[in-house]
Amino acid sequence: MEKNCVIVVVDEEKDSRRHVAETLQTAGYSVYEVENGVSALQAVRTYTPDIVLLDLALTTADPDRLIKTLTHKYPDIEIVVTTRQREIPDAVRRFEAGDYLGKPVDAEELLSLIRRLKVRLQFYRQFQWIGRDEKLVEVMEKVLQIAPTQIQVLLTGESGTGKDVAARAIHYYSPRRKGPFIPVNCGALAEGVLESELFGHERGAFTGATGRRQGYFEQADRGTIFLDELAEMPLSTQVKLLRVLEQQEFLRVGGTQPVRTDVRIVAATHRDLHDEMRNGRFRSDLYFRLNAVSIHLPTLRERRQDIPRLVRHFALEAARKHKVAFAGFTDETLALMEAANWPGNIRELRNTVETLVVTSQGEKVRVEDLPLSVYTPPSFNRSLPVTLNRNREDLEREMLYKILWEIRTSLDELPDRVVAALHGYTPRSLPERFVIPEEGSVQIQPIEPSSGVEGQGNPKSMDVWEKEAIRHALERRHGHREKAARDLGIGERTLYRKIKKYGLENFPETER
pTM: 0.69
The two counts, helices (H) then strands (E), for the chain are 20, 12
pLDDT score recorded for residue 435:
42
CA distance 45 to 231: 48
Would the CA dihedral through 78, 83, 88, 93 be positive or negative?
Answer: negative
CATH architecture for segment(s) 439-501: Orthogonal Bundle (1.10)
Residues 242-251: b if buried by 16+ CB within 10 A, e if exposed: bebeeeeebe
- The residues spanned by each domain of the chain are 6-127, 136-296, 301-411, 439-501
Asked if domains 6-127 and 439-501 share a fold, the reply is: no
pLDDT score recorded for residue 457:
43
CB 134 within 8 A of CB 305: no
Mode of pairing for the β-strands spanning 51-55 and 6-10 = parallel
Residue 246 vs residues 65, 243, 263, 285: alpha-carbon distances, Å: 58, 5, 12, 11
Question: Under DSSP, is residue 83 helix (H, G, I), strand (E, B) or coil?
Answer: strand
Q: Which has the closest alpha carbon to 169: 153, 193, 192?
A: 153
How many Cβ atoms sit within 10 Å of the Cβ of residue 484? 26
The 8 Å CB, 24+ separation contacts for 490-494 are 490/368, 490/411, 490/414, 491/366, 491/367, 491/368, 491/411, 493/363, 493/366, 493/368, 493/369, 494/366, 494/368, 494/411
CA distance 75 to 316: 9
CA distance 407 to 246: 58
CB 231 within 8 A of CB 185: no
CB 101 within 8 A of CB 80: yes
- What single-letter amino acid sits at 245? L
- What single-letter amino acid sits at 269? T
CA–centroid distance for 365 within its chain: 16
Q: Which has the closest alpha carbon to 78: 67, 89, 93?
A: 67
CA distance 372 to 393: 25
Q: Furthest-apart CA pair in the chain: how many Å?
A: 91
- What single-letter amino acid sits at 179? G
pLDDT score recorded for residue 376:
58
pLDDT score recorded for residue 11:
94
- Tell me the CATH class for 136-296: alpha beta
Measured in Å, how far apart are the chain's first and last C-alpha atoms? 61
How many Cβ atoms sit within 10 Å of the Cβ of residue 422? 20
Mode of pairing for the β-strands spanning 6-10 and 30-34 = parallel
Fold category of 301-411 in CATH = Helicase, Ruva Protein; domain 3 (1.10.8)
CA distance 153 to 291: 6
Residue 305 vs residues 221, 301, 335, 349: alpha-carbon distances, Å: 41, 9, 10, 14
CA distance 156 to 275: 14
CA distance 97 to 81: 7
Residue 487 vs residues 50, 288, 415, 440, 491: alpha-carbon distances, Å: 47, 65, 14, 12, 10
pLDDT score recorded for residue 358:
93
Tens of pLDDT, residues 279-320: 999 999 999 999 999 999 999 999 998 998 899 999 999 999
Give the helix/strand (H/E) hosting 354.
helix 345-359
pLDDT score recorded for residue 212:
78
CB 216 within 8 A of CB 210: no
Ranges of residues in the chain whose predicted pLDDT is under 70: 1-3, 86-98, 204-205, 375-462, 489, 491, 508-512
CA distance 76 to 62: 21
CA distance 67 to 93: 11
CATH architecture for segment(s) 6-127: 3-Layer(aba) Sandwich (3.40)
Residues, the chain, total? 512
> In this structure, what is the dihedral angle of CA atoms 107, 110, 116, 118, given to the nearest 10 degrees?
-100
How many Cβ atoms sit within 10 Å of the Cβ of residue 15? 9
